[in-house]
A and B are shown apart, each in its own frame.
Chain A
Amino acid sequence: MARIGVFICHCGENISATVDCPKVSEVAAKFPGVAFSTDYKYMCSDPGQSLVVNAIKEHKLTGIVVSACSPRMHEPTFRRACAEGGLNPYQCEMANIREHCSWVHEKGDKTDQKAIDIVRMMVEKVKRNNALLPIKVPVTKTALVIGGGVAGIQAALDIANAGHKVIMVERDPSIGGHMSQLSETFPTLDCSQCILTPRMVEVAQNPNIKLYTYAEIESVEGFVGNFNVKIRKKAKSVDETLCNGCGMCTTKCPNKKNPNEFELGMGNRPAIYVPFPQAVPNIPVIDKTQCTYYKNGKCKICEKVCQPKAIRFDQEDEIIEVAVGAIALCTGFDIKKTDFFPEYGYGKYKDIIDGLQFERLASASGPTSGEIRRPSDGQVPKKIVFVACAGSRDPAKGIEYCSKICCMYTAKHAILYKHKVHDGQAYIFYMDIRAAGKNYDEFTRRAIEEDQAQYIRGRVSRIYERDGKLIVVGADTLMNAQTVEIEADMVVLATAGVANKGAEELAQKLHVSYDQHKFFSEAHPKLKPVETNTAGIYLAGACQSPKDIPESVAAASGVAGKIACLFANSELTREPLIAMVDRQAPPMYSSCTGCFLCQPVCPYNAIEREEVKDRNGNLVRELAFINPGLCQGCGTCVAVCKSKSIDIEGYTNLQMYAEVDALLNS
């Protein structure tokens, strides 16, 4: 005979302001099988949990229903309390009367009735719960880091230094990411390359790290502790084991007029190239879309000049399969290009550039060797306008969020500009100066007070070209919204930070969720900022939302810590809420007909054929068998099974029907 305990939580006022909790408790006490019912202000608090534990012992309960928030929030909490009270933890059910009731309805009898119905359903369910045992799975103590920007580098080094193997996959020919393109970094103005390059080299030299550049993720299967990943290593047309990085090929390549991606189109590079001098690895790749040999079948000059004979025109993409226990997503971000702005000329004016292009102009290794010269004619701009919030906080353009980093890097740009062009004047159109961070506000003050940046509070309405000048039309909202017109020599748009190319596709391969802007979603905005909703996959850096370097690095170290925790155990405990095909001893008794309709629909390839043999070893029949290590409990097989032989543990058909029955027959 079931003895169920019902615990109604007020959740402060979250529930009790809308739902009459004492009344729900009173009604629930009269449900058949309920031996105890009560309500309490915060059931998840320490005294609340003690209340549950004591009630289980005192009233000899066989199952409990905690009527509170979503199971996503506190199911683990109350399962623990349930176990502490001496029950199997899976004898606990959550009745969600917060998200499903109090938060979405007005106060009233109907709302109370709905709460009561939800509780009744869960009472009927929990009566039919079975005791379940957690599943143990082994952990592969190798981490996969996707993306080799500053976040990926930090995560990889931290994990490797904790003694674990790391596989790093980078899409470009070199690691380094956006940080390698930056000139100097706020708020200290230290040189970006100088602080990043040593770390890049460390990655290449760390014996625990295996680096794949010019490589992308092909597919990911498996689950926490046991992922199987296929990596597509794109053909570089160069044998990496032979190449010594002498650079002869890139010097001699006759096809040199290809837009340089690293310089954001402000320079050229050969068809065989190393993206930048400090690249790691220092091994060139041939861009097949540009190489004369791949296009016309003639040339091969690089092959002739290569002393170690490393050029391989017939090299093909390689698929590499690896087993890893955890994945760190560090794929970074991208920025909107100037062609995104109709009112600023759709990108047709050469001297309107984006923030990253300015970084290259200001960089000692950039196309102008660190001199600020405008792209159209190489003149040094004497009047320069920076436009903050270009595309950010702009719902009309589909980007309502603040890109966060622009206020700071724009202040930095103004400072760098003044350091390089002493007689120049920088104007900054801004809406708010968002400089929250250690030494950040001081830094923007420095731009204004020491480096004479003119901050004008208003958005720029239009920019057009006339007689070689860019006419910037804005308003000064601190001056009666009067129109301000500046004849500038160059304009820098602090364009919005956006999700990186291919982010959505990658998220789908990994089954991690992402927001409407294709940024990857964290599992909880406050308490699980580096976890994704998929166990064993973590995220760091600007693939989550625009972030600056310190934040990206901090998050990456957070990820490394999480992965080190995961790898501290040799096996993992998994929820036993998986599909099972019914079996009664002896094994041939099962209602499964062996039709295997379930096999192709399983997204996790978890369904196998089990042979049932007689004593003489003759095959009697084949039954579906679900590999508990692979099953994720999605229930697709349950839906297609004609003979109703499959059940999800914890969500059996019997339990579901009991719930529905309780609702319909109330």
Chain B
Amino acid sequence: MSNPHHTEDNTLAGKIKKNVGVSLVKCYQCGKCSAGCPVSGDMDYPPSLLIHKLQTGLPNHEEDVLRSKSIWYCLSCEMCIARCPMEVDIPPMMDYLRGESIRLNKANPAAKNIIKFHKAFLNSIKNTGRLYEMGLIVDYKMKSLNMMQDVTLAPTMLAKGKLKIFPEMIKNRKNIRQIFLNTINKQK
């Protein structure tokens, strides 16, 4: 609970507290999250270090965080929160930071494939209501220009009956489009 007498906290940590209710001041830098994180080795700032940067409230550190690979490499596997002694809920914080990073056009170039994949995934749902794996792969390849990746995977999948040639459409696609219009595609 923050003190009502204090002035509003305009740091990124303050915004995280306000928008997702995760209190970064609780973190005492024990590093248990970084130790357990399956991708901390891939990250430029392992979770505890990322939090420490935000704890400083300094613009250069906040900038680092928004432009980091870390926020995109997070798998949302929840290992960090499962073991955090202070119950600092890192995954929703990461979700928020990803949103901010995109909104401010600061997403790390190394994350472009991940973002493109997510976008291709959502595109697929927006149009049909369900995931159309074939379409997703094609769309992702067009977006990422990774034409050669996994070229051998698709034929085997087809042969094993794991890929559908045609998308499955739900009936009330209007409802789905409405959901997208009311959320991610909302006009600002």
Contacts and interface: CB of A to CB of B under 8 A. Distances in A.
Do A and B actually bind?
Answer: yes
B122 interface: no
Interface string B117-154: 00000000000000000000000000000000000000
Interface stretch (A80-88, A92-100, A453-461): A453-461
Interface core residue of B35, B84, B86 (most chain A CB under 10 Å): B35
Given A458-B30, A475-B48, A477-B29, A484 B35 contact: yes
A483 B85 CA distance: 18
A483 B35 contact: yes
The dominant DSSP class at the A interface is: strand
Nearest to A391: B85
A483 B34 contact: yes
Contact of A460 (B28, B32, B87): B32
A461 B35 contact: yes
Nearest to A472: B35
Interface string A390-426: 0001111100000000000000000000000000000
Contacts of B32: 458-461, 474-475
B40 interface: yes
Interface size class of B (residues with CB under 8 A): 20 to 34
A303 B68 CA distance: 77
A477 B48 contact: yes
A431 B35 contact: no
B49 interface: yes
Interface string A325-340: 0000000000000000
B83 interface: yes
A476 B85 CA distance: 17
A296 interface: no
A476 B46 contact: no
A543 to B, nearest CB: 25
Contacts of B85: 393-397, 459
Interface string B36-49: 10001100011111
B31 A458 contact: yes
Given A459-B32, A481-B40, A396 B84 contact: yes
Contacts of B28: 393, 431
B86 A477 contact: no
A343 interface: yes
A473 B79 CA distance: 13
A459 B46 contact: no
Interface residues of A, number: 24
Contacts of A483: 34-35, 40-41, 46
Contacts of B48: 475, 477, 481
A477 B35 CA distance: 9
A473 B36 contact: yes
Interface string B75-89: 000010001111100
Interface core residue of A461, A462, A477 (most chain B CB under 10 Å): A461
B35 A480 contact: no
Contacts of A474: 31-32, 35
Interface in B81-115: 83-87
Interface in A370-405: 389, 393-397
Interface in B32-66: 32-36, 40-41, 45-49
B34 A481 contact: yes
A130 interface: no
B22 to A, nearest CB: 14
Contacts of A459: 30-32, 35, 85
Given A396-B84, A477-B34, 4 more contacts: A394-B85, A477-B31, A480-B45, A482-B41
The 10 closest A-B pairs by CB, nearest first: A461-B36, A475-B31, A461-B35, A475-B35, A458-B31, A481-B34, A394-B85, A459-B30, A477-B31, A459-B32
25 contacts: A343-B83, A395-B86, A396-B84, A396-B87, A397-B85, A431-B28, A431-B30, A458-B32, A459-B32, A459-B85, A461-B36, A462-B36, A473-B35, A473-B36, A475-B31, A475-B40, A476-B31, A480-B46, A480-B49, A481-B31, A481-B40, A481-B47, A481-B49, A483-B40, A483-B41
